[in-house]
Structure 1
Amino acid sequence: MTNAQAISGILFDKDGTLLDYAKSWVPVNYELARIAAGGDEDLARRLLAACGMDPDSGHVAPDTLLAAGNTVEIAEGMVAAGSPMGTAELAALFDGLFAQSASMAVAVTDLAGFFSALHAKGYRLGVASSDNERSIRETARRFGFEQYLHYVAGYDSGHGVKPEPGMVLGFCEATGLDPHEVAVVGDNNHDLHMGRSAGAGLTVAVLTGTGSRDSLSSASDYCLNDITELPALLPAEGPARAARA
């Protein structure tokens, strides 16, 4: 039995995986830099560059703070790069901005239909993001897939942060699955390393975020153009076995 044939649960990253990163988050990154810079445009540009984004092109480098960091880590990075605000104050402002940004996000596909089809096959489904839990739930509600989720974890949900294994282990606890029965799907190495450290059966990279085939190859079992290619990797008849109660 291959790893793919053993999969009964799928844990997705959100940004860059379910949502197109460039279309959804580059405008938000400009805004969070303006907030952190107190309106100083020159400082905002320096903050973006320090956290991994080219302020002219909007390109975000793989595995940088803006690509993979959680709210607190991004706030800490901007303070270290010269923001006059405190980390706690910035993190609170960023969390609010990120939750509001769900209304402007661009999905990579029809997420309601995508999750519905996987749910109908019996897969246990979850989302684990470095964003806050409120933002994940707002996104799931907006795109109509909240009812198909068995688990949601943000950096503030008490399962630790990526690339630690806690979010995957929390998914296993919530669904009754063992780690080797779980596929972790994400667009950066924080996601994939989280999966590997938890003993996930499959790590799947997608190219709708900030990573490239080169940057993601060493930590992924498969690298897909986007999540719509995922079902073809999995058994057509659904999960290998029903999850334990």
Structure 2
Amino acid sequence: MRAIRGLVFDKDGTLFDFRATWSAWTRALLLELTSGDRDRAAAIGRVIGYGLNTGDFAPDSHVIAHTPAEIADVMMPLLPGVDRSALIARMSSLAGETALVSATDLPPLFAALKQAGLYVGLATNDFAEPAQEHLRRAGVLQYFDFVSGFDSGFGAKPDPGPLLAFAASGGLDPDQVVMVGDSVHDLVAGRAAGMRTVGVLTGIAGPEDLAPYADIVLPHIGHLPDWVASFRDTAQSA
């Protein structure tokens, strides 16, 4: 088995704890769109798989793995008179303001991954610009060689396009890359790209959801260095 030379990460639910970060964003968006009408906000929340009162997400919530445009399209029938483009733009700006809760201590983790000589990227179904801002605020943007959003021209997961673009940007073959994500969408994209896949449990999906699509399921990305090193050691001794 070839050594691992690249890691491409999902963002929400992988670098950042999904519930702790995006529940506040979703609640704020819904209340803003409905001028504080909690009944209307709760009704729209149900459509996108979010419980306004509980602050939790359904396993198939659109917020988990879909693009902002897809989330907007699901909400539009309940938002008469709202301009779709303006809604998507507001979703983007609100995402850039969202308080982030890291899944683990990110700066030392990514410093160690880069020190190990790994090519590192991000492939998110969020907008690229807020994604870069999130990485900057988390203190890790400088460690990323590649950042792709759904608006970067490579497609959106579960399409493998963003992952293949990452591999190509680093001159890597897909079987030298690991896709790391918290959702089935992430792992299906990784498998379709011909990559190894790692699931993490800092999103909404449980181990039983991720295991059929993952080479391994880890509690969070802080456990990655030891797993990656085991492959590098195996390849060097082969």
**TM-score, normalized by length of structure 2?**
0.93
Aligned counterpart, 2:151 = 156
Structure 2 stretches of 5 or more lacking a match? none
Kept after mapping to 1: 8 A contact 2:3/2:232: no
- Give the aligned partner of residue 34 of structure 1: 31
- In structure 1, the partner of 2:118 is 123
Cα distance between partner residues in 1 of 2:211 and 2:61:
17
The 2-side partners of 1:56 and 1:220 are apart by 33
Shift of 1:145: 1.1
The question of 1:227 aligning with 2:221 is answered: yes
- Using the TM superposition, give the Cα deviation of residue 236 of structure 1 relative to its aligned residue in structure 2, in angstroms: 5.5
Cross-structure match for 2:190: 195
Task: Say which SS state the counterpart of residue 94 (structure 2) adopts.
Answer: helix
Say whether the 8 Å CA contact 1:123–1:238 is kept in structure 2: no
Counterparts of 2:209 and 2:33 in 1: how far apart (Å)? 29
Q: CA deviation at 1:64?
A: 2.1
The residue aligned with 1:212 is: 206
Match of 2:141 in 1: 146
Match of 1:47? 44
Q: Percent identity?
A: 38
Deviation at 1:108, TM superposition (A): 1.4
User: Equivalent residue for 2:69?
Assistant: 72
Give the drift of 1:6: 2.5
Q: Size of the alignment, in residue pairs?
A: 234
Deviations 1:112-144 (A, max 9, x none): 111000000000001111111111111111121
Q: Distance in 1 between matches of 2:208 and 2:51?
A: 20
Q: Which residue of 2 aligns with 1:165?
A: 160
| 5+ residue gaps, structure 1 | none
Deviation at 1:214, TM superposition (A): 1.5
**1:169-202 deviation digits (Å, cap 9, x = unpaired):** 11011111011111001111111111111111x1
* TM-score of the superposed pair, with normalisation by structure 1: 0.90
1:34-91 per-residue CA deviation (whole Å, 9 max, x = no partner) reads 23334332111011111111222112122420111111011111113x1222322211
